[in-house]
Structure formats: C-alpha cells, structure tokens
C-alpha cells in the first residue's frame, strides 16, 4: 500500500467479470455504505481502467486511481454524499436519491460543440 492509497473499508472482487457485471456487483457491495468509505475493486476486465472512472464521474463518487503496489489490477474509489443512483426508475430513467428525475447534462458549448 502506498502512502497515497488509503486502506480499503470494502474490497469488491470482480475477477473474471466484464464491466456491466462488475458495476452491478460494485453497486450491490456498496449499498448502504456511508460517504467516505474507501473501496478497492479487483478487476480483470481490460476496460476497467476506463469504466470505473466513468462510473464515478456519472454517479459523483471519487475515483482515486489504480493501487500501484498490488500484484492484481486493483482500483480505489471513495464514496461521496449526495450521489446519483444507478438504479433506474419505473420509466427507465436514472433517479437521484430523493427520487427526482436525473437532469440532462449539457455538453460545453451547446449541442453543436461550439
């Protein structure tokens, strides 16, 4: 463990899982964990270094990066407060913890990219 990487409160073993299944397991394992909880995710999916930071960006959790002193591919993240839920609402839209519909995010510069 490097000084920059906090010790995990929860370790999620995603060995052999592809991204979607890994994220479903991650969501299940962190359910009910308080903000500030440090998670280490063991992942063998080659897309994990892209998918985990993207998931954190979408939900609002903090991606801390790879755990460099591990023999396995391990990634650290920290749970945040007031994050977006990844559970869909009855109409398939993402929901915020308070049950409000997720607002559409606009790209910088508008729809034409300017």
Question: For the chain, how big is the Rg over CA atoms in Å?
Answer: 15
Q: The dihedral of CA 67, 6, 41, 84: what is its sign?
A: negative
Bridge partners of residue 38, in order along the sequence: 78
What is this structure's pTM? 0.73
Q: Which pLDDT score is estimated for 71? A: 86
Q: Which pLDDT score is estimated for 92? A: 46
pLDDT mean over 104-111:
48
Q: CB burial class (10 A; 0-12, 13-18, 19+) of residue 13?
A: middle
pLDDT band for position 78 (cuts 50, 70, 90): very high
Number of Cα atoms under 13 Å in the Cβ half of residue 51? 17
Residue 102 has pLDDT above 50, yes or no: no
Tell me which architecture the domain covering 10-81 has in CATH: 2-Layer Sandwich (3.30)
Q: What is the DSSP string of 5-25?
A: SPPPSEEEEETT--HHHHHHH
Residue 97 has pLDDT above 60, yes or no: no
Task: Give the start-to-end residue ranges of the domains of the chain.
Answer: 10-81, 84-114
Residue 99 has which token pair? 């049950």
Q: For residue range 12-63, list pLDDT tens digits in order.
A: 999 999 989 999 999 999 999 999 999 999 999 999 999 999 999 999 999 9
Geometric angle at alpha carbon 70, from 4 and 65, rounded to 5° = 45
């Amino acid at each position: 463990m490097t000084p920059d990487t906090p010790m995990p409160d929860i370790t999620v073993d995603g060995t052999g899982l592809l991204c979607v299944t890994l994220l479903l397991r991650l969501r299940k394992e962190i359910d009910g964990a308080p903000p500030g909880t440090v998670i280490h995710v063991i992942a063998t999916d080659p897309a994990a270094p892209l998918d985990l930071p993207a998931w954190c960006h979408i939900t609002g959790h903090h991606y801390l990066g790879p755990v460099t002193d591990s023999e396995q591919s391990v990634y650290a993240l920290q749970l945040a407060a007031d994050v977006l839920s990844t559970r869909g609402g009855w109409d398939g839209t993402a929901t915020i913890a308070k049950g409000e519909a997720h607002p559409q995010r606009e790209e910088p510069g508008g729809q034409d990219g300017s």
